[in-house]
């Protein structure tokens, strides 16, 4: 009898919790596989989506992802268009002046991609060698990205060309309209092995915030300034997913490697 009462009480609590669960809209730019993309049915999928939905489950929130151009994500968050932004967003000092971030949920690195045979930069090349090789070259980055900020601050003498989407960047580097493109390494790796990246290769070493501070300190979930209660819940969920291996499991599934921070 007591066990039935306990079960009934537990069920009532869960129903009450579900009824009070908040609805959160998450902005993402679904053109950056395997982090986020749109499948043939129009559904937004990817590592960020799986991680985001698991985080929402742990903070007892009903979450929906919505697609938006990358450069409009953080401005949209600031004016209340979204509750959160989760789109492989690098946590940089400049962005932290405008929005708050959860603790990092993934490590990140960036890397140059070139047309095969055009730029002799080995993986162990120094940062200085990369800068020298790129002098007077044309470099492509994504609009509003940390890679754009890093290129503007550190690549002196280059002509910078900005793109809305990663596939456009690969199209131009393959055609020789730009000499190199700089983007998140894990996303680039996914494209290089596809038809869209045929004939392109990585050039030079992996780059992080230690090389160029503008690249930030990993990926975090962005939220509007001042919502400390929501930030604390996000941080708690991420910490639990680090501890129980959920981030490791999902990142190995999508990326073939562990990016647990």
Cβ–Cβ < 8 Å for 179, 134: yes
pLDDT at 212: 94
Domain ranges across the chain: 2-107+217-255, 110-215
Class of domain 2-107+217-255: alpha beta
pLDDT at 20: 57
pLDDT at 252: 97
To the question of domain 110-215 being in CATH 3.10.620.30, the answer is: no
Question: Which two structure tokens, joined as six digits, stand for 187?
Answer: 């996303």
> Over its length of 261 residues, how does the chain's per-residue pLDDT go in tens digits?
434 433 443 344 344 444 457 999 999 999 999 999 999 999 999 999 999 999 999 999 999 999 999 999 999 999 999 999 999 999 999 999 999 999 999 999 999 999 999 988 888 888 888 889 999 999 999 999 999 999 999 998 999 999 999 999 999 999 999 999 999 999 999 999 999 999 999 999 999 999 999 999 999 999 999 999 999 999 999 999 999 999 999 999 999 999 999
Please state whether the predicted TM-score (pTM) of the whole model is above 0.95: no
C-alpha span between 132 and 126 (Å, rounded)? 10
Strands of the sheet with 138-142, listed across from one edge: 159-163, 138-142, 180-184, 110-115, 200-207
- What is the SS3 string spanning the chain? CHHHHHHHHHHHHHHHHHHHCEEEEEEECCCECCCEEECCCCCEECHHHHHHHHHHHHCCEEEEEEECCHHHHHHHHHCCCCCEECCCCECCHHHHCCCEECCCCECCCEEEEEECCCCCCCCCCCHHHHHHHHCCCEEEEECCCHHHHHHHHHCCCCEEEEECCHHHHHHHHHHCCCCEEEEEHHHHHHHHCCHHHCCEEEEEEEECCCCCHHHCCCECCEECCCCHHHHHHHHHHHHHHHHCCHHHHHHHHHHCCCCCC
């Amino acid at each position: 009898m007591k066990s039935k009462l306990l079960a009934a009480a537990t069920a009532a609590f869960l129903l009450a919790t579900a009824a009070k669960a908040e609805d959160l809209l998450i902005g993402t730019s679904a053109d950056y596989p395997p982090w986020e993309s749109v499948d043939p049915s129009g559904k937004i999928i990817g590592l960020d989506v799986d991680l985001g939905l698991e985080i929402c489950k742990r903070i007892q929130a009903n979450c929906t992802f919505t697609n938006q151009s990358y450069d409009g994500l953080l401005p949209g968050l600031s004016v209340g268009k979204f509750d959160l932004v989760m789109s492989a967003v690098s946590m940089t000092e400049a962005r932290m002046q405008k929005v708050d971030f959860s603790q990092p949920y993934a490590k990140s690195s960036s890397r140059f991609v070139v047309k095969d045979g055009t730029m002799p930069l080995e993986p162990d090349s120094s940062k200085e060698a990369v800068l020298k090789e790129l002098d007077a070259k044309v470099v492509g980055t994504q609009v509003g990205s940390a890679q754009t900020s890093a290129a503007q601050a550190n690549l002196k003498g280059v002509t910078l060309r900005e793109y809305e989407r990663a596939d456009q960047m690969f199209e131009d580097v393959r055609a020789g309209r730009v000499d190199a493109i700089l983007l998140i390494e894990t996303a680039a790796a996914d494209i290089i092995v596809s038809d869209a990246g045929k004939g392109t290769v990585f050039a030079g070493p992996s780059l992080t915030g230690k090389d160029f501070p503008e690249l930030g300190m990993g990926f975090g979930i962005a939220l509007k300034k001042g919502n400390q209660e929501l930030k604390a819940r996000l941080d708690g969920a991420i910490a639990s997913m680090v501890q129980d291996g959920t981030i490791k499991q999902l990142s190995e599934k999508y990326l073939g490697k562990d990016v647990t921070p």
